[in-house]
Amino acid sequence: MDRLTNTVRPYAWGSTTAIPELIGEQPTGEPQAEMWMGAHPGAPSRLARGTLDAVVAADPEGELGAATVTKFGPRLPFLLKLLAAGAPLSLQVHPNLDQAREGFADETERGVPIDAPNRNYKDANHKPELICALTPFDGLCGFRAPADAARLLDGLGVGSLKPYVDLLSAHPEEAALREVLTAVLTADTAEMAATVTEAAAAAERLGGEYAPYAAIARQYPGDSGVIAAMLLNFVQLAPGEAMFLGAGVPHAYLDGLGVEIMANSDNVLRCGLTPKHIDVPELLRIVRFEATEPGVLRPEADESGEEVYETPTDEFRLSRFVLAEGSQPRVLTAPTPQILLCTAGSVRAGDELLTAGGSVFVPAGDEAFVSGNGTLFRATVAV
């Protein structure tokens, strides 16, 4: 196995303290949003043998295993992260696989540069993802039932929101959600800013279930995404709980530290809470306009003590071990590659002693003997 050296991405929404506190370093005062573990070309992990993307490219079948290469090609199909949100991320959705392929081919054919700010599809892959909380973690996930969204908006007492309340109350679910989101995103910018300002003041005054949206408005004053966010379910995860985000489901992370795993893709369509490009027609093609209950996942333990977060995705499988001092070493082996990440205490993985934030890459078929007193996350491929 190989110890990984990983890059921390300093996105503006990142917490200045959460990752440094986890790994036992002094904060720099700058945001530290995501630590990437994987072979993504944007910030590949480094091994003694070179960068992980180069190591995989040199011997795909040896590093990834035949099953992974057959199904996903000669690349690591997942990206593992530590994610530390100190402010809300953009409200967003991800395409399914067919939509990603179509969108990538269309933009490529039209000559849209891959790094253009108005490009939606950076690759031809989908981006299902799972976030597992290490601290209390707040987010938004999926549409509320139209009647519940109407009640929430109406309770603000803002006259300019009345047309949205009426639409939500008068139409079937899919039409109601589609019409209101479309209206919010295409409204006159100045008029919407005034509405958001009034709504934010009301949310501050009312508190309670309005408090998360008041906090969002403080970060993004006048942004139409504040109203769009009120159409979504507010979710609070306790440490150890997780949330799966499939294609077409609008979502945003608001606050907290977690372990995130996703298919290896950069495809994001934004709905608000961002200064970046919003392609409304393409967004409306991708969003699934249906009310959902935000399913909170809790791991299921097998006889070996491995706690698995079950998802319908083949690109990744995330599990957790809570190890106790003096317990028997476990042998972790798989026909697919593994990344092991320690998030608490200290864990020995082979010859490597991992403390919080430490990680190793285990090539397909290799054995990893793990023991210690701490928490270890295991990321691999579900094939």
Query: Catalytic residue numbers?
Result: 270
**117 with 251: CB under 8 angstroms?**
no
For residue 157 the two structure tokens come to 């007492």
Total length of the chain:
383
Estimate to the nearest angstrom the gap between the alpha carbon of 169 and the chain centroid.
31
Q: How far is CA 99 from CA 94, 267, 287, in A?
A: 9, 10, 11
Angle at 84 between CA 79 and CA 89, to 5 degrees: 85
- Please name every residue paired with 237 in a beta bridge, in sequence order, or none if there are none: 137
3-state secondary structure of 6: coil
Burial class of 253 by CB neighbour count within 10 A (0 to 12, 13 to 18, 19+): buried
For tokens 């700058």, name the residue.
30
What's the N-to-C CA distance of the chain in angstroms? 21
**Amino acid (1-letter code) at residue 89:** L
Q: How far is CA 69 from CA 47, 60, 234, in A?
A: 21, 7, 38
For residue 91 the two structure tokens come to 């409200």
Nearest to 245 by CA among 49, 93, 64: 93
Dihedral angle sign, alpha carbons of residues 315, 128, 122, 85:
negative
For residue 357 the two structure tokens come to 């934030």
**228 with 275: CB under 8 angstroms?**
no
Nearest to 213 by CA among 33, 88, 85, 92: 88
3-state secondary structure of 101: helix
Distance separating alpha carbons of residues 14 and 326, to the nearest angstrom: 37
